[in-house]
């Protein structure tokens, strides 16, 4: 990753990286004239994050033409003031401080806040309310886990250093041999991660719920109905259950292939029902491989300000909670909001078509530190600083661990928090 002689670079050590949900805090970044020249240890996603082209102040826009930043703030304030139900989303792309200001703005203008990831389905908040959930930090996986089960996920593609830093190769206090002290099992569809595991259980999504019920029956010593899943899978699950029972510390690492929006909370609630009683025999937890950089932190800020996990509507005097009907994608798809304020992110390219079409019809205010890779044309485009590179603040890792990210160099554009504050002041005038 090194482009220049490192002796000529301005080196920043122990840098937290917002490139994905791992928020690795051990990077060394080399700068020359404020531009990133080297990223160590090598991680292609981190290099891509730091090196993507920033949005200059000259790209500030309002109503289809170039605008000064002051004019853009003013137009954004007019949009949120005029709207009956402005939607604020994409909050996981910015710092917790900027999210806090955004809730002030939504409160002032009677908006709807959705801090959940628009395309990654994560029912943790609701599952905590129903069955409860045994979770763990990434540090516990690193230090303790001697059995790691990757179910419906592929960290070797989506979270490049998870494998080396936490779940497979890392040497921990109770797994001093690292990889040699860990047993790794993959479940689901084959991918790069499952190929590198010690064992793989192919599992079609249509069999997932039956397989979870089967594991729960094994744990509770209830009658088994192996016919529903076939003999081979019955044997594989019996072996997995024995591995879990005999482990010192097991972890289920889950991704989109496990969580599946169409299955709602059922798979996660069933797994939670398996993991909790296993603590009578061993120890273990569930870890969700969440995207980054700050979706967990954004949800936490919304919860602390409104009392509700993930999102709330502030259109009336008190916050109201209806996660099944107030997700950003649903509101947009049903044309139930008349303006949107959002932070751009890679998920924009995967928004459902109906939501994308709705965004094209209503006034939009977009905060961006890189160019939006989606076919939406914002009414107001406000360039902002990039978290962890030109902007500082707090972001939470996928395991809810808050970390300070810091600015490594200056920028001509405002921070996200400053930009929202400026709009809030104009909307309050």
Residue with Cβ nearer ligand SF4 (23 or 341): 23
Residue with Cβ nearer ligand SF4 (19 or 123): 19
Residue with Cβ nearer ligand SF4 (40 or 344): 40
* Spatial distance between the Cα atoms of 250 and 150, rounded to a whole number of angstroms: 11
What is the smallest separation between the CB atom of 41 and ligand SF4, expressed in angstroms?
Answer: 7
In 3D, which of 257, 328, 245, 309 has the Cα closest to residue 288? 257
What is the smallest separation between the CB atom of 329 and ligand SF4, expressed in angstroms?
Answer: 25
Give contact residues for ligand SF4 (rule: CB under 6 A).
17, 19-20, 22-24, 27, 43, 45-46, 159-161
Residue with Cβ nearer ligand SF4 (250 or 389): 389
In 3D, which of 353, 355, 385 has the Cα closest to residue 369? 385
What is the smallest separation between the CB atom of 397 and ligand SF4, expressed in angstroms?
Answer: 9
* Spatial distance between the Cα atoms of 146 and 158, rounded to a whole number of angstroms: 22
What is the smallest separation between the CB atom of 351 and ligand SF4, expressed in angstroms?
Answer: 23
Residue with Cβ nearer ligand SF4 (46 or 337): 46
What is the smallest separation between the CB atom of 161 and ligand SF4, expressed in angstroms?
Answer: 4
What is the smallest separation between the CB atom of 188 and ligand SF4, expressed in angstroms?
Answer: 21
Q: Say if residues 113 and 352 touch (Cβ distance below 8 Å).
A: no
138 Cβ contact partners less than 8 Å away, ≥ 6 residues apart: 22, 162, 165, 166, 287, 397, 398, 399, 401
What is the smallest separation between the CB atom of 292 and ligand SF4, expressed in angstroms?
Answer: 6
What is the smallest separation between the CB atom of 158 and ligand SF4, expressed in angstroms?
Answer: 9
Residue with Cβ nearer ligand SF4 (214 or 397): 397
In the structure encoding, which two tokens stand for residue 378, read together? 């914002």
Residue with Cβ nearer ligand SF4 (159 or 386): 159
Q: How would you class 164 by CB atoms within 10 Å of its CB: exposed for 0-12, middle for 13-18, buried for 19 or more?
A: middle
* Spatial distance between the Cα atoms of 285 and 278, rounded to a whole number of angstroms: 10
Residue with Cβ nearer ligand SF4 (35 or 157): 157
* Spatial distance between the Cα atoms of 164 and 358, rounded to a whole number of angstroms: 42
Residue with Cβ nearer ligand SF4 (45 or 420): 45
Beta bridge partners of 380: 62, 365
In 3D, which of 400, 304, 429 has the Cα closest to residue 23? 400
Q: Say if residues 393 and 96 touch (Cβ distance below 8 Å).
A: yes
Q: How would you class 11 by CB atoms within 10 Å of its CB: exposed for 0-12, middle for 13-18, buried for 19 or more?
A: middle
Radius of gyration of the chain (CA): 23
In the structure encoding, which two tokens stand for residue 78, read together? 């007019």
Residue with Cβ nearer ligand SF4 (309 or 387): 387
Using DSSP, state whether 402 is helix, strand or coil.
Answer: strand
Beta strand pairing call for 393-396 and 65-66 = unpaired
| DSSP assignment string, 229-276 | T-HHHHHHHHHHHHHHHH-SEEEEEE-HHHH-GGGTTHHHHHHHHHHH
* Spatial distance between the Cα atoms of 325 and 323, rounded to a whole number of angstroms: 5
189 Cβ contact partners less than 8 Å away, ≥ 6 residues apart: 152, 202, 257
Residue with Cβ nearer ligand SF4 (51 or 100): 51
Give the residue closest to ligand SF4 by C-beta.
19
What is the smallest separation between the CB atom of 197 and ligand SF4, expressed in angstroms?
Answer: 19
What is the smallest separation between the CB atom of 113 and ligand SF4, expressed in angstroms?
Answer: 26
What is the smallest separation between the CB atom of 254 and ligand SF4, expressed in angstroms?
Answer: 17
């Amino acid at each position: 990753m090194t482009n220049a002689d490192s002796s000529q670079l301005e080196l920043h050590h122990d840098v937290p990286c917002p490139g994905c949900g791992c928020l690795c805090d051990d990077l060394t970044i080399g700068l020359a004239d404020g531009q990133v020249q080297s990223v160590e240890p090598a991680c292609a996603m981190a290099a891509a994050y730091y090196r993507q082209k920033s949005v200059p102040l000259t790209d500030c826009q309002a109503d289809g033409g170039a605008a000064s930043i002051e004019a853009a703030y003013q137009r954004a304030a007019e949009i949120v003031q005029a709207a009956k139900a402005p939607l604020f989303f994409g909050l996981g792309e910015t710092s917790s401080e900027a999210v806090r200001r955004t809730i002030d703005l939504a409160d002032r203008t009677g908006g709807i806040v959705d801090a959940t990831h628009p395309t990654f389905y994560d029912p943790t908040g609701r599952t905590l309310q129903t069955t409860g959930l045994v979770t763990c930090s990434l540090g516990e996986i690193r230090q303790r886990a001697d059995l790691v089960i990757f179910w419906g996920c592929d960290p070797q593609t989506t979270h490049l250093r998870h494998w080396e830093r936490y779940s497979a190769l890392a040497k921990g206090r109770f797994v001093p041999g690292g990889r040699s002290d860990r047993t790794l099992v993959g479940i689901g569809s084959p991918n790069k991660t499952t190929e590198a595991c010690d064992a793989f259980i192919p599992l079609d999504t249509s069999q997932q719920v039956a397989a979870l019920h089967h594991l729960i029956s094994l744990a509770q010593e209830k009658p088994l109905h192996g016919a529903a899943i076939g003999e081979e899978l019955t044997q594989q699950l019996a072996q997995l259950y024995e591995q879990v029972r005999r482990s010192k510390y097991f972890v289920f690492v889950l991704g989109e292939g496990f969580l599946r929006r169409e299955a709602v909370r059922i798979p996660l609630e069933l797994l939670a029902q398996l993991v909790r009683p296993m603590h009578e025999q061993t120890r273990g937890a569930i870890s969700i491989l969440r995207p980054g950089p700050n979706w967990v932190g954004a949800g936490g800020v919304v919860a602390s300000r409104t009392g509700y996990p993930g999102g709330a509507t502030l259109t009336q005097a008190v916050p109201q909670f209806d996660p099944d009907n107030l997700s950003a994608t649903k509101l947009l798809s049903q044309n139930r909001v008349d303006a949107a304020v959002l932070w751009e992110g890679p998920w924009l390219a995967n928004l459902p078509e109906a939501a994308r079409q709705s965004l094209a019809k209503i006034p939009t205010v977009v905060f961006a530190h890189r160019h939006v890779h989606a076919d939406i044309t914002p009414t107001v485009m406000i360039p902002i600083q990039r978290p962890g590179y030109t902007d500082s603040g707090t972001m939470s890792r996928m395991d809810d661990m808050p970390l300070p990210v810091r600015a490594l160099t200056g920028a001509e554009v405002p921070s996200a928090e400053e930009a929202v504050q400026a709009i809030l002041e104009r909307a309050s005038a």
